[in-house]
Structures are given as C-alpha cells and as structure tokens.
Amino acid sequence: MLKPPFYYIGFNSILGGLFSIWLTLVYSCLATIRMITELIRNGPKAYFSQRDRNGPNRPKILDTVGSHCFISLKRSKIRLHYVEAGNKEKQIMLFVHGFPECWFSWRFQMEEFKHDYHTIAVNMRGYGESDKPIGVENYSTNLIVDDVIEFIETIQTKSHPKIILVAHDWGGAIAYVIAHNRPDLIDRFIVMNAPHPYAWIQRVSNSWQQFFSSWYVFFFNLPFLAEFSIQSNDFQIFDRLFGKYSQSEGDIDVYKHYFSQPYGISGPLNYYRAMLRGYGSNSKGYDNKIQPKTLILWGRDDVALVSDLAHDSSNMCVNARVEYLDQCSHWIQIHRPMEVNSIMKKFLRNKKNDD
C-alpha cells in the first residue's frame, strides 16, 4: 500500500523540508479561500473587530484559581509566569499546557489537587505573561525543554526533589523529552493527548489519516496569514475550540486576553515553525525508554491526533498505562475534568502503594 510522502523522503530531510514548504503553500491557499468566504459572509466590521480585554476589562476569573508569580531563568534570561495553589510544603504537581492554551487550561486539575499537592501551572515561553522573544530560532524544542528543566530545578524542594509532571499537547511533547533526559526530576509522569515526538513523526510518515490530520502544522508555518486567521472575528477560533466546554464567557475571554497581547499569537505559532525549520531538533535519549512511571490519557475523538499514537507513545516508556476516554475531544482536561481527575487520583494512589 502506498505510504504518505514523508515515508519515502524523510520528515527531517532536505526533501522533507521542501515538501513541507509545498504543503504550507497548499494549505495556506485553502485557508485564504476560507478566510475570504468568512469575510464576505460576516462583513468587514465583524471580521476585523476585536473587543478590548485588557486593563479594567481583564478577565476577573484569572485571579480565582491561585497566586500569580514569576521566575527569571538564569540560563536563558527568560521570565516565566506561573500560577500556584495549595500547600508549599507538599510535593509539587507541575502542569504544562499545549497550543493554543495557557496555564488556565489546568484550572479544574488545580482545584482538585491543591489540597494534596503544591500545584503549579506554568505559561511556557511565548505564552500569556511569560516572555515572548522575537524570532523563530528562539522557540526550538531544545530551548523550551531547557526552560522547563530549569524551572523545575528552581521550584523543587529538598523534602520533595522529584515532581509529578502533568502535560498536554505541545506541553506533552516537551515533557516527553524532559522525561527522557532528566528522569531524576520526575516522580510520576502524566500526559494527555500528546504523542511522543518520535511516535508522531512515525505516524505522519506511515498513516494517511495522521498525515491529513496534521494540515494545521504546515499552515502555521506561513507568517502573518496564520496570525491573521487566529485573530479574525474577535479570536473566534477559541469559541470554536473551547466554547462547548466552557462554564462561562469569561473562560473564553482568558484565551482571547492572552493571545491579543503583543506577539501573543506569533510566539505560540513559532513552536511549529521552529520544528519544521529544524531549529534545535531534539532526539537525544530516544533510544532509551522513559524511566518514570507514566500515565497516558487519550480522548478518542481527537481530530488532530489518531488514537494509535497513545499506544505508540507507551512503547517509548518502561512502565506506561494507557487510558482512553470515549466521546472525548483533544481538550481532555477541560472536556471531561471529573473523569480525568479520577483517573489521575487512582494512578497516584498506586504510587503510594509502590512507595
């Protein structure tokens, strides 16, 4: 059976790079047609409008989850914003978000686990109130991995030197590399709808379904047009992605608030651009399996990532348990928070028995 093009030319090869550029142009043309259609349908006023969500209009819900803090990293000189809740004397549970998200995506988990852990949700570089360096080269996997590693090293305590690392989507891709390279920092690893980087490359090279589901990766590679599409119709993309799972309009306003900041869209998009352009590709340690005990949670109705990626990713771990949630989207932690929290609790209870 004929395989996707990356199977024959390689994802990270020169030919793979040229083919990625071609895909970028194709998907950008299709996106442009859709954007013009929306412009005609909605009218210029609605299409270009943006409601002010800054200053006195800043979403009040931002201050209901925990305390807002900042850490300045010594190696990269990047300042990261994070929100914490719970007892600082207890073990740290660190949450790392995906795209297009922020620390706020973990609000349900922070509320649930703050009584038993010191919960911390970080905004990665380029997101929210964290620093947003200009330039695609500043968003390589290597740099972001090092950010999170230094962040962990800074917040870890002598009484609890190892943390529980919880990640979703792009945060999961970063967390897999950390789990490979620095298992000494991680007690338990929980990842949600995020494939191991190697597993994703293998799937996009062997599965037509994953190949076509990854269209957005190539579209995001085009400067300006991708940014414009996200901010159109008052950042309507967030209503489409999260509207069904939000408890109030204020929930959606959080994302619109953060992404409307200067460079608030380009920073997150640069994760994809840096990956496709080969900045800081990180394959170190992939030959060695992930050592910390791992829980992989997967919503089966993910339209961007095929469910087989959960099993593929588990093969990269020494001891991994996979839990699927039927009729659950990619945004698993906000779509089905009670079930996610319950599965996490069971996994962590078993940890205590192991200890």
Q: What is the 3-state secondary structure (H, E, C) of 232-279?
A: HHHHHHHHHHHHHHCCCHHHHHHHHHHHCCCCCCHHHHHHHHHHHCCC
For the beta carbon of residue 353, count every other beta carbon within 10 angstroms: 6
Given the residues 131, 147, 169, 187, the one annotated as active site:
169
Does a cis peptide bond (omega within 30 degrees of 0) precede residue 100?
Answer: yes
CB contact at 8 A, 186 and 318: no
Question: Is 263 designated active site?
Answer: no
Burial class (CB in 10 A: 0-12, 13-18, 19+), 299: buried
Angle between helices 225-242 and 249-259 (to 10 degrees): 160
Distance in angstroms (rounded) separating the CA atoms of residues 202 and 214: 13
Q: For residue 330, which of 244, 219, 205 has the smallest C-alpha distance?
A: 244
The residue annotated as part of the active site, out of 272, 279, 302, 335, is 272
Length of the chain measured in residues: 355
Q: CA-to-CA distance for 46 and 50, rounded, in angstroms? A: 8
Distance from C-alpha of 303 to C-alpha of 74, rounded to nearest angstrom: 39
Say whether 271 is catalytic.
Answer: no
Active site residue 169: yes
Q: Which residues are marked as active site? A: 169, 272, 330
